[in-house]
Chain A
Amino acid sequence: MNVTLRYARPALYADYARAGAGVAVCVLPLLFVTTNAVTVALAALGILFLLFGVRTAARHATEIVADDAGIVARGPFGGRIAWDELSRLKLAYYATRRDRKGGWMHMTLSGGGRTLRLDSSLDGFNDIARVAARAGIARNIDVSDATRANFAALDIAYPAAERAAA
Chain B
Amino acid sequence: MLRYVAKRLLIMVPTLVIISLLVFFIITLPPGNCVTAQIDEILSSGGPNAIEKVRQLEQLYDLDKSWWERYAIWASGALTWDFGLSCQDNQPVSQLIGERIALTMVMEISTIIFIWVVSFIIGVYAATHQYRPGDYIASFIGFVGLATPNFLLALVLLYVGKRYFGVSVGGLMDPQYIDQPWSWEKIHSILQHLIIPVVVIGTAGTAGMIRRLRANLLDELQKQYVTTGRAKGLPPLKLLVKYPLRHALNPFVADIGHILPEVISGSVIVSVVLSLPTTGPMLLSALKTQDTNLAATFLLFVAVLTVIGTLISDLLLAALDPRIRLQGGTEK
Q: Do A and B come from one complex?
A: yes
Q: Find A92's partner among B6, B78, B322, B326 (CB 8 Å cutoff).
A: B322
Stretch at the interface among A95-103, A108-116, A131-139: A95-103
Interface centre among A10, A29, A37, A92 (most CB of B within 10 A): A92
Q: Is B44 an interface residue (CB 8 A)?
A: no
Q: Find B6's partner among A48, A95, A120 (CB 8 Å cutoff).
A: A48
Q: Which single residue of chain B is at the shortest CB-CB distance from A125?
A: B330
In the complex the two chains form, what is the Cα distance from A93 to B326 in whole Å? 10
When distances are taken between beta carbons in the complex, the residues of chain A under 8 Å from B238 are none
Q: Is B332 an interface residue (CB 8 A)?
A: yes
Interface residue tally for chain B (C-beta within 8 Å):
30
Minimum CB–CB distance from B101 to chain A (whole Å) comes to: 11
Q: Find B318's partner among A21, A33, A94 (CB 8 Å cutoff).
A: A94
Q: Find B79's partner among A29, A103, A123 (CB 8 Å cutoff).
A: A29
Q: Is B231 an interface residue (CB 8 A)?
A: no
Interface residues of B in 306-326 (CB under 8 A from A): 314-315, 317-319, 322-326
Q: Is A49 an interface residue (CB 8 A)?
A: yes
Stretch at the interface among B7-15, B107-115, B207-215, B290-298: B7-15
Q: Is B5 an interface residue (CB 8 A)?
A: yes
Contacts known (A102-B329, A150-B324); A94 close to B4, Cβ less than 8 A: yes
In the complex the two chains form, what is the Cα distance from A48 to B12 in whole Å? 15
Q: Is B327 an interface residue (CB 8 A)?
A: yes
Flag if A120 contacts B331 (CB, 8 Å).
yes
When distances are taken between beta carbons in the complex, the residues of chain B under 8 Å from A103 are 323, 325, 329-331
Contacts known (A34-B80, A36-B80); A153 close to B6, Cβ less than 8 A: no
When distances are taken between beta carbons in the complex, the residues of chain A under 8 Å from B328 are 153
Minimum CB–CB distance from A160 to chain B (whole Å) comes to: 15
Q: Find A52's partner among B6, B80, B325, B329 (CB 8 Å cutoff).
A: B6
Q: Is B237 an interface residue (CB 8 A)?
A: no
Stretch at the interface among A11-19, A67-75, A77-85: A11-19
Q: Does more than half of chain A's interface fall in helix, strand or loop, or is it mixed? A: helix
Contacts known (A36-B80, A120-B332); A100 close to B6, Cβ less than 8 A: no
Flag if B10 contacts A21 (CB, 8 Å).
yes
Q: Is B81 an interface residue (CB 8 A)?
A: yes
When distances are taken between beta carbons in the complex, the residues of chain A under 8 Å from B232 are none
Q: Which single residue of chain B is at the shortest CB-CB distance from A97?
A: B314
Flag if B79 contacts A39 (CB, 8 Å).
yes
When distances are taken between beta carbons in the complex, the residues of chain B under 8 Å from A36 are 80-81
Contacts known (A52-B6, A96-B314, A96-B318); A101 close to B80, Cβ less than 8 A: no
B34-61 vs A, Cβ < 8 Å mask (1 yes, 0 no) = 0000000000000000000000000000
Q: Is A105 an interface residue (CB 8 A)?
A: yes
Query: Which chain B residues have a beta carbon within 8 Å of chain A's beta carbons?
Result: 1-7, 9-10, 13, 78-81, 314-315, 317-319, 322-332
Which 7 A-B pairs have CB atoms at the shortest separation, nearest pair first? Answer: A153-B325, A149-B324, A120-B330, A93-B325, A146-B322, A96-B314, A36-B81
